[in-house]
Amino acid sequence: MSEPIKNRYEFVILFDVENGNPNGDPDAGNLPRLDPDTNLGIVTDVCLKRKIRNYVETVKEDTTGYRIYVKSGIPLNRSDSDAYTALGVDGNNIKAEKKNDPDLDRKIRDWMCANFYDIRTFGAVMTTFVKAALNCGQVRGPVQLGFARSVEPVYPQEVTITRVSITTEADAEKKDSEMGRKYIVPYGLYRCEGYISANLAHKTTGFSEDDLALLWEAILNMFENDHSAARGKMAVRELIIFKHDTELGCAPAWKLFDTVHIERTDPNDHAPARSYKDYTVTVDEASIPAGVHCTRMV
């Protein structure tokens, strides 16, 4: 595995949805998430990190160093216990073990970081109260994502659907179809901003240059192996990366984010957007501070 990254990064992800629900809200009957004051669409960071995890799991298939910790069907304690087994730690006698080896907590944490890509990337809380012996600590990951918000207000539509298969024998005697419904966003362009700390990478998790390259790949392709009828047509349209010359950075993140502008291609068109072509994305490179370099990936 390569050395930990030495440069700070910020990045902007632009992705869109067409005739789909990008992130349903279980507290609102699975309606697409909205800011109630502005009607801007929302996609949570948890949703996006799930797509990244799924992509890494698909391309790496749990190879050494690229296992996924937060994973469907795998209890966290099972993964925690793997660290204890690998290091020969007796979880039932953990106090004595730590007394004999004061550095044991760090060794357990480092083993988890080395073996699980998502811990190395996003961090994790590996402390559970179900079985106190399986305490692998807490890790603050170098990669952090904010909520994605749509560039313009979105107006979800409720679509009524029918199916010809009936659920029960009793219902089959009364009717030959059943009604259902689904919610879609006809079109929405979303913007997500993220941060990568080289300082946390080398001090804590060991997030490396190889990990970084895989992260960019995963972001660009996070919807490509995740298509479903419910989510409609989703795609990452652009990834804009700001790389600092130093570990701690050369400029505030907000100054870099403010250089990315998304405007209507036709400023006189006030109809709802229905395509990525309705927008023009520009980066004001003249306003990027010295020591920061911008790369645009599509």
- Give pLDDT tens digits along the chain (298 positions): 689 999 999 999 999 999 999 999 999 989 999 999 999 999 999 999 999 999 999 999 989 999 999 998 898 988 999 999 999 988 788 888 888 888 999 999 999 999 999 999 999 999 875 545 578 889 999 999 999 999 999 999 999 888 888 888 887 778 878 788 899 999 999 999 999 999 999 999 999 999 999 999 999 999 999 999 999 999 999 999 999 999 999 999 999 999 999 999 999 999 999 999 999 999 999 999 999 999 999 9
What single-letter DSSP state applies at residue 116?
Answer: B
Please enumerate in sequence order all residues whose Cβ is within 8 A of that of 53, keeping only pairs 6 or more positions apart, or say none: 68, 70, 71, 118
C-alpha torsion 81→87→88→94, nearest 10 = -70
> Are the C-beta atoms of 232 and 19 separated by less than 8 Å?
yes
Tokens at 224, concatenated: 């490509």
